[in-house]
Each structure stands twice: as structure tokens, then as C-alpha cells.
Amino acid sequence: MVLSNAYAQGFLSGTLYQGYLKNGCTPLLNCYACPAAVLSCPIGTIQHFMVIRSVPFYTFGILSAVGALVGRMTCGTLCPFGALQDLLYKFRSWKISIPHGVRFLRYAVLVVLVFAIPFFTGEHWFSKLCPAGTLEAGLPWVAMDAGVRALVGSMFWVKVALLLLFISLSTMAKRPFCRAACPLGAILSLFNRASFLQLAWNPDTCTRCGKCRRICPVDIRPDRKQADPECLRCFDCAMCPSLKAVTVFHERPFAPAGVAETATVLGESK
């Protein structure tokens, strides 16, 4: 999080980092218009390629590489907007649960706002609405630069309203933006089943107490589906001895010490 926003002098000088690091995309929803950003936003880059009617192979390659290695782990551990939502949920307030089906909205956001509308209209419509952009770029630039302040119109206030909506929702529900609207999460979630890093579950010791769901930042049951596309791979649930972070090369993650690993599949070995 700090590494992708390491250009702190951007806030002091009112300039944007323009070095070669911006050749690369960060696997986080981290706005490249943020004065401190040193890497590019993958969603902004994809929209740009849609606008110029080209395929962003390079950006897809970076996201596929990260997804293939760690799945959605960057969402769970490095994303600044995700961390903010986690923090806001800790506030004492009325708590609600987000319906499971809401997850499909983020795929709609990806297809409609990131691919289709920019392709047909030539406008970056996800960026126009992105609450992370408002927080990391919109508010700092409006505060710092009188020229930008003079250009503020109704669209800016729509963005601020969306940011406030997600901020207030975050105090009540776990990670509402990540679960309902994040297009980057939608892309990375496609790799959860195929990632090098996996979650393993031990059916022999699990008591189905449901504590893993209460710990989980996105309210899933890791004991029911270990490669759930919702899973952020934060491994908070691995505090439970029945759940464990493993790699795809672990055949029997819960085998007692001294037992040789075989091709026997966990759970089917009995």
C-alpha cells in the first residue's frame, strides 16, 4: 500500500509522479491520479485501451500473473480502499449482512462500466464514478489546486456522494464496495480456483462452529468452499486449526508429521 503510494512529495509540490514505474500496473484499486501514486491503476488502463479500441494484453498479463500466484490476496492485504472499509466496519454501528447474490453486480460493473461503455462512448465511466478515485485523487487535488477547484461541477459531487455512500455502508456491512462494485476484484476472483496459494480445510477436525465466517472480512464460509471467488485470501480464518494456507503442491496439508505425502486427496483418503 505504501510502496504503490511512495511519491509523498506529490502532496507537497502538487505534482504527479511521471517516472518509469508508471509503466507497470498495481494489482490494487489504487488511483494513478493520486499525487503519491507511483504505479498505474489497472482499471484506468483497461478503460484507456477500450477507448483507443485496443486489447490491454500487458495489463491483463500483470493481473493474470498476480491472480495465478495469490488469487485475490492483494485485495485482502494491500488494497488501500479495502483496508479503509475494514477499518470502518470496526466502528460500533447497526450491522447488516450483504446478500450473496450481490457479488454478481461487480461482474456487471466490469463488463458495462469498464469494457462496454468506454469502448462505445470513449469516456472512462468507471473512473467518473470510482469512490477510490474520489478519495485518493479527487479530494486531494481539489484541496491542493485552485485551478482544479474552479473546475468542480456536478460530477464531482456525484463522486463525493458515492464515496459517502460506500463509507457509510462500510460501517454497517463488511467490505460493500469490494463485494458489490469492484471490477478489479471481479477480474482477480476468476483466479481464486487456479492460484498457487490455496486454502485447505480439514473436515476431520472442523466442528462447523461458524467462527470462520464471523472472522471473514467478506462473510463467507471457508469450510464450505475453499476457493470461493469472494475469498480475499487474507487467511484470517487460518487462525482456526481446521483451516490452513497451502500451495497447490500440498497434497495432504493436515497429515501428521512424519506421514509421507501421497497422491491421496484430503477428505477422500478415508
Residues between 105 and 134 that touch other proteins (CB under 8 A) = 123-125, 127-128, 130, 133-134
Give the whole-angstrom CA distance, residue 228 versus residue 127.
27
Query: For residue 149, how many other CB atoms are within 10 A of its CB?
Result: 12
Question: Cβ closer to other proteins: 142 or 172?
Answer: 142
Give min distance, CB of 98 to other proteins, in A. Answer: 22
Nearer to other proteins, 59 or 170 (CB): 59
Q: Which is nearer to other proteins, 99 or 153 (CB)?
A: 153
Nearer CB in complex with other proteins: 107/128 = 128
* Pattern 200-229, other proteins, x by CB under 8 A: xx-x----x--------------xxxxx--
Q: Shortest approach of other proteins to residue 7 CB, angstroms? A: 12
Kindly provide the b/e burial profile for residues 192-217, where b requires at least 16 CB atoms within 10 angstroms of the residue's own CB: beebebbbbbbeeeeeeeeebeebbb
CA 267 to chain centre: 31
First to last CA, the chain: 44
Q: Which residue number, 136 or 173, has a Cβ lying nearer to other proteins?
A: 136
Residue from the set 98, 142, 238, 245 that interacts with other proteins by CB under 8 A: 142
CA 148 to chain centre: 29
Give the number of other Cβ atoms within 10 Å of residue 242's Cβ. Answer: 21
Task: Indicate the angle between helix axes 57-70 and 42-51, nearest 10 degrees.
Answer: 150
CB closer to other proteins, 8 vs 152: 152
Residue 32 to residue 38: CA distance in whole angstroms: 7
Q: How far is the CB of 96 from other proteins (least distance, A)?
A: 25
Residue list 41-70, contact with other proteins (CB under 8 A): 41, 44-45, 48-49, 52, 54, 56-62, 64-65, 67-68
Q: Is residue 191 within the footprint of other proteins (CB under 8 A)? A: yes
The stretch among 32-40, 80-88, 102-110, 175-183 that binds other proteins (CB under 8 A) is 32-40
User: Binder to other proteins among 31, 73, 169, 181 (CB under 8 A)?
Assistant: 31
Closest CA to 182 of 233, 219, 129: 129
∠ CA 186-85-131, nearest 5°, is 65
85 vs 134, beta carbon nearer other proteins: 134
**Residue from 4, 25, 29, 218 that binds other proteins (CB under 8 A)?**
25
Residues 43/126, Cβ–Cβ less than 8 Å: yes
Cell of 72: 485475490
From the CB of 45, what's the least distance to other proteins, in Å? 5
